Structure 1
Amino acid sequence: QRVLKYTAQPAVSGFEFQSSDSRVPFAWIKFLEEMELFLLARAPVACYRSNAAAKDVLESLPEIGGDDAVQDEVHREVDALHEVHDGLHRHEKKKVKKKEKKKVKKKEKKKEKKKVKKKEKKKVKKKEKKKVKKKEKKKVKKKEKKKEKKKEKKKEKKNEKKNEKKKEKKNEKKKEKKKEKKKEKKNEKKKEKKKEKKQKKEEK
């Protein structure tokens, strides 16, 4: 605004420069236009363009000549512009740093997530292995039990057969004894009969 009092009249659409004023070089008008753009846009690109325009002004002013007070104003404005530029530059640097920090944090988070996932996978694998082992053990135990049962059954069958044979032998023996007794009884009877016959004969 300090520069504008020497150079232009305010207008509805921004600035309207008095180009007829001999104290206003064309490069300076360009510089002010650039400066306005820069202050409105507040962007690094506009910032560098404004600095370039300011440099042009500073180089061309001594050749064209002009009021000392105006030149001092331009110098002051250029310094102010540089200050804003540095501020923006610092802000941009800070922004980049923040972005970089965020990126690193994100990468770290991703790494941690991957680590946790790997650990979890390992845990699940271990659990699965344990489960399979347990299942296998159970299977072996079942097989062993079945084998034992079969063995027991075989033994039982053998014992049964043995007992059956023993029983049969006993029955055979019993039968034989009975037969023997019967025979004996028969013989006894026969003997008795013979004796009786003899006695009868003797009596006669």
Structure 2
Amino acid sequence: MACLIKGVYIAEIDRQENRREDKQIAPTWWEAFHFKCIKVLEDDVDSSIFGAVFEYMGHQIESPKYVIAIRGTMIKSRTAIRDVYMDAKIALNELSHSSRCELALEAVEGIIGSTHHTNVWLAGHSLGASIALQTGRDMAKRGYYLETYLFNPPFLRLPLEKIKCRKIKDGIRFMQSFVKAGVSLVRKKTEEYDPFILLNSWIP
């Protein structure tokens, strides 16, 4: 899974360097594992390759038939602005409304329309892990639990270690516990609608 994601990174570098098909480096990363790239996912703003759909051409029974792999942030001249913008959407909790998430979801839906969902795996690194996670959540809510591999997914937390005042730290911890207790109480009353309950069977 990690090599397929690496292949997506290299595919974008191949694109940026205008390498001809016979000079491209990216295919080495998936052909070594008997995968074929059947579709690339391109950003609708900068046309960068941020993901790809791979089909397994080998004979190992335990291997997935299809993998949707999504790369992370690339700080390069043609991708940095758009990728950092997408990173900001994670911080603002708006990634789920991004075009990349929509395109990844459409790719999964298209494949599941022709095969059983257990044949489809998701994989992502960093920003791509967040997109894969969102895609997996959306599918899990529909009852499709896709095998998913996330490498270094970003997460946000309060930097408590940087706060020097013990009373403030204790206050923040108390509020966190209070909020968790409140969420738990609400969950008990609305289990049939709670996304935590709906996602309970999906473990990426």
TM range, normalised to the smaller chain? under 0.3
Greater strand proportion? 2
Normalising by structure 2, we get a TM-score of 0.25
> TM (normalized to structure 1)?
0.25
Higher relative contact order (CA 8 A, sep 6+): 2
Who wins on radius of gyration, i.e. which is larger? 1
